[in-house]
Amino acid sequence: TWFTLCVRKRQVGEPPLENGWIPFLGVALEFRQNPLEFLRSKQRKYGDSFTCKIAGNFFTFIMDPFSYSAVFRQGKNLDFQTFAIETSRKVFGHADFNDPIYNRNYKEIHALFRQTLQGPALHNLTSSMMENLQTVMLRNKTSEWTTEGLQSFSFRIMFEAGFRTLFGREEKPSEMENIEPKKFQMTTAMDNFNVFDRAFPEIAAGFPIYLLKKAYTAREALTERLQHKYLKKNHGLSALIERRMNLFDQMPYLDELGKARTHTAMLWASQANTLPATFWSLYYMLRSPEALKVAQTEVERVIQESNQKLDKMKKTVVLSKEQLDSMSALGSIIDEALRLSSASIMIRVATENFVLNMDSGKNVSIRKGDRIAMFPQMIHMDPEIYENPTEFKFNRFLDENGQKKTFFYKNQRKLKNFLLPFGSGVSECPGRFFAVNEIKQFLALVVFYYDMELKDPATPVDIDCSRAGLGILPPKHDVLFRYKLKDCISE
Ligand code: HEM
């Protein structure tokens, strides 16, 4: 609109304003190049809140972690859902769930996340994931060393196991598992997922997917396979997908492809962050001999406690949700990997002009239509909260008793929000417990089954920052490692 194209003037009570020097784009390019450095430099200049024009929108950044709660509490004047649905619709091409004709159903659909991903429902998901992970891992039973990219290894195992856990599998008999066509289908699905996911930042930023031919074709191919006529034949569908299918089937305005598009969105939400988070957890664990040792000891302890003998193992390992919860060393490794790789941005849209009361006592005027943004990487990389913040410390999230550490401080004050890879408030990830569980299962199983080593542990892997704002950042490139089934298992 003309309004956003024109240079805006700061009003009394509003935070300092950066219009940038490029019309419309504002500071978008500088911000995208390195959000962390950009925000740090603006914080030095302006303090704990300031407004920047980014691609036609005005974003007020809240930098002080003690003021995050003030935003999370502001249910009345801040909206998340409308904006989230708009973005998701741009990317996945599903129906406009902001339209009142979907209102009641959408609330029900949203409520399903908690009902089927948390609490008692997590037990079923956990045991299904445990079985699926081992099916995929143990397809290759050779006792030789295998060399593979660590990213390729963790992605293919987690993708297939996670896919099967949510969307089920085509048929039961386990002797059918090895046949080529099915393997091919899963590989194709994963290739399509990767092609689509690589284009995700551009599409989310507003670039029409129709112009990104490969990404569009990949998304449509994924969607084709997630139609109800196929899913209904699958065994072992998760409650989440089964109940979503029932609800979508009751929505007269949705056609079959329209329903499938919502499943593609769910597939993406369940995998896009989990895959790189699994990579980093395994990578950091293998790179630190101490971390690996502690993980091995913990896995051995839990397996022994549950009387599953390593040498007499014929069947797959079973670890209950409670056992996984008790694995605090693996938990700390995962939290530390998430801290180092997470770069999501939390956004809310102001539905009215209102005043935000910051923790410092300062009042900040926010205009209707503006966005409030929080970038938790600022907290994750704050040396006052985390000493040597760029370093991996496997026990950073363990207290002196080896239990989960929950006390972190800034300015001698205890922080409520110190680790936010899953967001917080209304937009907090409903899959967070399942996500941590499945990464723990993956780590426990690779430690249990394999001898593993990185080919070149001395050379660090850089993080690809081009996706900052979207969640867990992937590595810039893959790294080689080798693995081999432990002798006592392959015999
Ligand atoms: C939303 C992170 C795994 C399901 C989110 C959001 C974040 C996030 C930051 C909020 C996005 C926003 O504020 O715009 C992560 C990370 C994961 C992970 C870091 C893994 C390490 C999962 C898994 C599932 C899942 C495994 C499901 C099985 C969802 C859903 C939403 C969401 C459905 C949207 C919720 C809504 O619209 O209210 N996730 N997630 N996530 N996540 Fe996750």
Per-residue pLDDT tens digits for 357-383: 999 999 999 999 999 999 999 999 999
Is residue 145 a contact partner of residue 481, using CB atoms and an 8 Å limit? no
pLDDT the model gives residue 491 = 59
**Residue 420 DSSP code:** -
pLDDT the model gives residue 83 = 86
Interval between CA 12 and ligand 1 midpoint (Å): 37
CA–CA dist 23, 432 (Å, integer)? 39
Whether 128 lines ligand 1, by a CB cut-off of 6 Å, is no
Mean pLDDT of 288-306: 94
pLDDT over 60 (residue 176)? no
pLDDT the model gives residue 265 = 97
Whether 468 lines ligand 1, by a CB cut-off of 6 Å, is no
Whether 346 lines ligand 1, by a CB cut-off of 6 Å, is yes
Give the distance from CA 261 to its chain's centroid: 19
CA–CA dist 79, 443 (Å, integer)? 37
pTM for this prediction: 0.94
Residue nearest to atom 1 of ligand 1 (CA): 429
Whether 238 lines ligand 1, by a CB cut-off of 6 Å, is no
Whether 423 lines ligand 1, by a CB cut-off of 6 Å, is yes
Mean pLDDT of 385-401: 97
Which ligand 1 atom sits closest to the C-alpha of 81?
37
Which ligand 1 atom sits closest to the C-alpha of 346?
13
pLDDT the model gives residue 184 = 59
> Which residues on neighbouring strands pair with residue 371, listed in sequence order?
59, 349
Whether 49 lines ligand 1, by a CB cut-off of 6 Å, is no
pLDDT digits (tens, 9 = 90+) for 301-328: 999 888 766 545 556 788 888 999 999 9
Whether 442 lines ligand 1, by a CB cut-off of 6 Å, is no
Interval between CA 427 and ligand 1 midpoint (Å): 8
pLDDT the model gives residue 181 = 53
Interval between CA 443 and ligand 1 midpoint (Å): 20
Whether 422 lines ligand 1, by a CB cut-off of 6 Å, is yes
CA–CA dist 85, 96 (Å, integer)? 7
Residue 352 tokens read as 């009215």
Residue nearest to atom 2 of ligand 1 (CA): 422
- Mutate-to-test residue for ligand 1 from 429, 433, 472, highest number of ligand atoms within 8 A of CB: 429
User: With bands split at pLDDT 50, 70 and 90, how would you rate the model's confidence at 99?
Assistant: confident
Q: Which residue has the higher pLDDT, 150 or 100?
A: 150
Identify the weakest region by mean pLDDT among 21-35, 53-67, 401-415.
Answer: 21-35
pLDDT digits (tens, 9 = 90+) for 225-241: 999 999 999 999 999 99
pLDDT the model gives residue 23 = 80
Whether 270 lines ligand 1, by a CB cut-off of 6 Å, is yes
CA–CA dist 407, 487 (Å, integer)? 42
Task: Specify the 3-state DSSP secondary structure of 471.
Answer: strand
Whether 80 lines ligand 1, by a CB cut-off of 6 Å, is no
Whether 431 lines ligand 1, by a CB cut-off of 6 Å, is yes
Whether 109 lines ligand 1, by a CB cut-off of 6 Å, is no
User: With bands split at pLDDT 50, 70 and 90, how would you rate the model's confidence at 28?
Assistant: confident
Residue type, position 179, single letter? I
Whether 471 lines ligand 1, by a CB cut-off of 6 Å, is yes
Tell me which residue of 417, 425, 429, 404 sits closest to 334, measured CA to CA: 404
Interval between CA 162 and ligand 1 midpoint (Å): 14
Interval between CA 269 and ligand 1 midpoint (Å): 6
Interval between CA 19 and ligand 1 midpoint (Å): 32
CA–CA dist 93, 261 (Å, integer)? 7
Interval between CA 85 and ligand 1 midpoint (Å): 14
CA–CA dist 350, 445 (Å, integer)? 46
pLDDT digits (tens, 9 = 90+) for 419-444: 999 999 988 999 999 999 999 999 99
pLDDT the model gives residue 305 = 85
Identify the weakest region by mean pLDDT among 14-23, 227-236, 440-449.
Answer: 14-23
Residue nearest to atom 31 of ligand 1 (CA): 429
pLDDT the model gives residue 102 = 84
Whether 138 lines ligand 1, by a CB cut-off of 6 Å, is no
In whole numbers, what is the pLDDT of the chain averaged over residues?
Answer: 91
pLDDT over 60 (residue 22)? yes
User: With bands split at pLDDT 50, 70 and 90, how would you rate the model's confidence at 106?
Assistant: confident
pLDDT the model gives residue 314 = 56
Whether 425 lines ligand 1, by a CB cut-off of 6 Å, is no
Whether 436 lines ligand 1, by a CB cut-off of 6 Å, is no
User: With bands split at pLDDT 50, 70 and 90, how would you rate the model's confidence at 141?
Assistant: confident
Whether 430 lines ligand 1, by a CB cut-off of 6 Å, is yes
Interval between CA 428 and ligand 1 midpoint (Å): 7
Identify the weakest region by mean pLDDT among 5-9, 107-111, 218-222.
Answer: 5-9
Cβ-based neighbours of 461, under 8 Å, separated by 6 or more: 283, 475, 476, 477, 479
CA–CA dist 73, 117 (Å, integer)? 24
Query: How are the residues of the chain apportioned to helix, strand and coil, as percentages rounded to the nearest 5?
Result: 50, 15, 35
Residue nearest to atom 5 of ligand 1 (CA): 429
CA diameter of the chain: 75
Whether 277 lines ligand 1, by a CB cut-off of 6 Å, is yes
Residue nearest to atom 39 of ligand 1 (CA): 429
Whether 435 lines ligand 1, by a CB cut-off of 6 Å, is yes
Whether 376 lines ligand 1, by a CB cut-off of 6 Å, is no
The count of residues in the chain is 491
Task: Specify the 3-state DSSP secondary structure of 229.
Answer: helix
